[in-house]
Homo-oligomer: A and B are copies of this chain.
Amino acid sequence: GTSPSRRFNIALLPGDGVGPEVIAVAKDVLNLAASLEGIGFDYKEMPVGGAALDLTGVPLPDETLIAAKQSDAVLFGAIGGYKWDDNPKHLKPETGLLQLRKGLEVFANLRPATVFPQLVNASTLKREVAEGVDLMVVRELTGGIYFGQPRGFKTTENGEEIGFNTEVYAAHEIDRVARVAFENARKRQGRVCSVDKANVLEASMLWRKRVTAIAAEYPDVELSHMYVDNAAMQLIRNPKQFDTILTNNIFGDILSDAASMITGSIGMLPSASLRESGPGLFEPIHGSAPDIAGQDKANPLATVLSAAMLLKYGIGEESAAKRIEAAVLDTLERGFRTGDIYSAGCKLVGCKAMGEELLKSIESHK
């Protein structure tokens, strides 16, 4: 046989719930699209989240982090489930994901929110408001209140319990994620809206100051600033006003989820978490959906599109990425829908069948 001219190591972290199902589909799709471009993969599948807790007692085993670090890119499914809901913090599946992000130092989280023309009715927003939404949230992912020290619990002198966290940003943490946002905006509509709470928080004041400074390196990109409460409103009022939204870890968590819901199809949305160099982490934005796990009902498209981001942003293989993106659109165009995006007149399929349709699409567009 022909041996692919380019080979990459992929760490595959299926995780919990629907994770394994959507990863299985994404892997097949990734393989086919890449092979047509002469790319081959070596996979290393490793446990994370609840699956890792059950197997090893921790949500991110050292072996998993090492495999991820040694890979060219990490494809991640989803984590969490009822079983581990009451675990203490260090034994929560979520903690595994946070440790993975921190361990890989993937400080820039790219979350596109795109309204697919075929799915515009799935949005709860009026058609004229939702149609054509195409924005990118660039969320800082390894700093801020998620990781800030000191944090924890204390008992005051009068015996009262206190819980505390630290929102903290250093200039270099802001600078590097701002650059990612400006670079990205350049390839888009050239507009960055930086979101903060600089009228109240010192961490946000530094954020605004540094973003403004970095903007000077990108005179071709337009920078605006918005308070986070206003941004939450504007996403609902007129999401089309946004091109690239740059924000911190916690505001990005909230706003990227709001933005994704505006599209009406969170089962469709991928994400990429990147650093300057080194392996990126690619994951659907949806969770592990334990209620439908193992029933072949999950929508694999978010993970499939995460695999496309892996090709594009992770290993610089844009042509293979385009094959996947085109297959997703073509499959939607041909009317195939999983339950979460189903509407009357479409063809209801399960996770696997959706995968097969994607493969057919790729095959037929060789």
Contacts and interface: CB of A to CB of B under 8 A. Distances in A.
A343 B170 CA distance: 48
Interface string A36-71: 000000000000000000000000000000000000
Interface in A159-190: 160-172
A262 interface: yes
Contacts of A172: 160
A232 interface: yes
Given A92-B199, A250-B197, A204 B163 contact: yes
Contacts of A168: 162-165
A253 B260 CA distance: 20
A215 interface: no
A255 B89 CA distance: 25
Contacts of A165: 166-168, 201-203
Nearest to A125: B124
Interface string A298-339: 000000000000000000000000000000000000000000
A200 B94 contact: yes
Interface in A61-83: none
Interface string A248-259: 001101111110
Given A163-B206, A171-B161, A171-B162, A253 B236 contact: no
Contact of A156 (B170, B200, B230, B256): B170
A229 interface: yes
A160 B170 contact: yes
A96 to B, nearest CB: 12
Interface residues on A, range: 35 or more
B153 A163 contact: no
Nearest to A251: B254
B169 A266 contact: no
A256 B172 CA distance: 32
Interface in A194-212: 197, 199-207
A151 B167 CA distance: 9
A152 interface: yes
A170 B165 CA distance: 12
Interface string A222-236: 000000111011011
Contact of A258 (B89, B145, B167, B258): B258
28 contacts: A124-B125, A124-B236, A145-B167, A146-B200, A160-B170, A160-B171, A160-B172, A162-B171, A163-B168, A163-B169, A163-B205, A163-B206, A163-B207, A164-B167, A164-B202, A164-B203, A165-B167, A165-B168, A165-B201, A165-B202, A228-B254, A229-B253, A232-B232, A233-B260, A233-B261, A236-B236, A236-B262, A258-B258
Return the 3 tightest CB-CB contacts between A and B, nearest first.
A163-B206, A164-B168, A233-B261
Given A145-B200, A235-B258, 17 more contacts: A89-B205, A124-B125, A153-B205, A156-B170, A162-B171, A163-B205, A163-B206, A164-B202, A165-B167, A165-B168, A165-B201, A197-B253, A228-B254, A229-B257, A232-B257, A233-B266, A251-B254
